[in-house]
Structure 1
């Protein structure tokens, strides 16, 4: 995100290469500086007369000239932040979410969610990723940012908004995420027809599991559901319960993820599933879910 200032060495050339070479290491002579003083003469109509430099001015010019001849870099002001990083309400909302998340992380273990960076850095890296991605042209900046950064630790505030505490600044990000998923859903190459797996980190008692996942009943998650085509990936996120899903709404976002090895498929909020099976094996619960077209009232 940081835009490095451009600096360069500025040399000065004069008609006599021989005189320049002789003064490069010693600094300019007094006679040369007196001639140079003509450049600063207020008498603009005269080309032959010039003001004599004072000793103080001569010393300043001597130091400046010597520094430049030796190749001392001249620093230019840093460039401003690119307008592209904040030119939409969604990007501004995303920046706000990142700032809030960074504040929250200060009270957490250092190893937790270590992939969250300052907004300008995080957004610029994501946009650079989009610009270099061969299949990202289908997305607007907002859509790509929402999908790509959801696969970072920013999924936490997004899903917390949907499940627990609605916040206005999250809404533009969720809208962009839904829009990007809808575009992918139109492409058969990004649909996931096979079985998916999702680990649930939340600690649940047996009675809670049996109450939430009753066979024959409908299960929905208020938030986006991250799943993987690989069981071993789901197990990394599992506490006591693993879901095994078949979904017509799941979209493969792995190619646009910050963690492509996870082969993540994302399911939109409130997608209805029928609980077809609930079983316990080796102290772990396994739930089979099939997506249903309708959403019956129960």
Structure 2
């Protein structure tokens, strides 16, 4: 596998496999439930395949366009390319495309569903704030996502929620405008539509929570992989602390524009602090948990470097 020199984490991997398995079971149960309430299963399959193909082939382009990111050559950003070259050599993985987004929001992200379309992108804001060691640690985190095909995994995991949300909206509109009072019995279209809404809403909620759990696991795994690859977990911790602290100084409008892309980012543009009910809906673990893991790795390496 590309990036085989990223250290494996069996604990986190087993939890991610369990979460994906639960999502798979939910997929099957969803289709069966829709068949039982009378929806044409081929319609569901067509919707799923359509959304899957669209998101699979366009997610990287949409992310780049939405962030205003542009691929840069080694001549345009020699220092940035040098760091990526060094990390790819250390990880024994193909070099992805390198891009820069001209925004003061300090962040980075990876996108692309395979090695040919993979892109690692940093913002001008993060390059201005971090030193070389910190930027290297952040890029190692993003390269771990590329090596472990996390973007593809999360895209697949998100299909169910997208389809369930779509069917919920369509079912509600159909029930409202189909004359729900006409006819009786199981064949009443409005009753079928409401049943679809109920099933889809439940599945959407469950898939949303499971996908967020999976997202938090993958962020912890990428932190761990980056810390061991660079051998400097404290540099990643320092980057996390700097970025989180500087987010408070970014204009609110800029943060709101970036917030829809939190799932892609190294750290979310806006995130709850500490452990609370809101962390169940977060794309990333609390910064305290991430720093605690990095501190543990520092102790394991026998150095705070």
Q: Shorter-chain TM-score category? A: under 0.3
Greater relative CO (CA pairs within 8 A, separation 6+)? 2
TM-score relative to the length of structure 1: 0.25
More strand by share: 1
